């Protein structure tokens, strides 16, 4: 109730002011479900396009692997970012760092950074390619954490195949 008045917030406690600010941000940025779906599809499609473009740019002489590393990483970031439209940014961050997927999240983010570092800072094509492969594996493991029992099924499958 206090948040909805046009009175100065200076007399409110700090916690109340924070809650009022968060409420106004949520109300200002709330999207309809149709808009959220469109945002998700657009962002996810952009991620796929970037990843495919990166794959095509892999064959460009001299700079191909660097372009691949950048576009592939940007594509994966956009794909992960697309779920923000469905869940919202705070819920997405909370779910990413839940104990069941904490290691997978850290590995995905680390692979993103290491891929870009190996392409731009270290200028090591082989390392960039290795980190892109690790990025794909880490992202797959991260994605499986959202499907009930999927990780267990993959572990059992590999155990049977390697036995």
Whether 1 is in a domain gets the answer no
Answer yes or no: is 12 within a domain: no
R_g (Cα) of the chain, nearest Å: 21
Question: pLDDT of 58-102, one tens digit each?
Answer: 888 888 888 999 999 999 999 999 999 998 999 999 999 999 999
Q: How many domains does the chain have?
A: 1
Residue 100: other Cβ atoms inside 10 A: 10
The answer to whether residue 5 is domain-embedded is no
Interior angle at CA 131, CA 57 and CA 136, nearest 5: 80
Asked if the structure places residue 141 within a domain, the reply is yes
Q: What is the sign of the dihedral through the CA atoms of 114, 118, 120 and 126?
A: negative
Task: Kindly state whether residue 111 falls inside one of the protein's structural domains.
Answer: yes
Band of residue 6 on the pLDDT scale cut at 50, 70, 90: very low
pLDDT, tens digit (0-9, with 9 covering 90-100), for 90-120: 999 999 999 999 999 999 999 999 999 998 8
Structural domain span for residue 102 = 31-162
Predicted confidence at residue 119, as pLDDT, reads: 87
* Residue 22 lies inside a defined structural domain of this protein: no
User: What is the tens place of the pLDDT at every residue in 121-148?
Assistant: 998 888 988 999 999 999 999 999 988 9
In a domain, 23, yes or no: no
pTM of the model: 0.74
> How many CB atoms are closer than 10 A to CB 118?
22
User: What is the pLDDT averaged over residues 46-61?
Assistant: 92
User: Considering the domain boundaries, does residue 40 fall inside one?
Assistant: yes
Give the C-alpha separation, 112 to 135, whole Å. 7
- Residue 77 is predicted with a pLDDT of 95
């Amino acid at each position: 109730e206090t948040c909805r008045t046009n009175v100065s917030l200076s007399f409110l406690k700090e916690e109340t002011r924070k809650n009022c600010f968060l409420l106004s941000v949520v109300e200002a940025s709330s999207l309809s479900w149709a808009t959220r779906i469109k945002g998700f599809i657009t962002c996810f499609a952009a991620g796929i396009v970037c990843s495919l473009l990166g794959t095509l740019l892999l064959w460009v002489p001299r700079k191909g692997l660097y372009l691949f590393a950048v576009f592939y990483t940007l594509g994966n970031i956009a794909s992960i970012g697309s779920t923000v439209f469905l869940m919202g940014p705070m819920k997405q961050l909370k779910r990413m760092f839940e104990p069941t997927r904490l290691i997978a999240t850290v590995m995905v983010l680390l692979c993103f950074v290491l891929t870009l570092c190996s392409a731009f800072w270290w200028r090591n094509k082989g390392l960039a390619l290795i980190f892109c492969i690790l990025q794909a594996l880490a992202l797959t493991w991260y994605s499986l954490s959202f499907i009930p029992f999927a990780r267990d099924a993959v572990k059992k499958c590999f155990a049977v195949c390697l036995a």
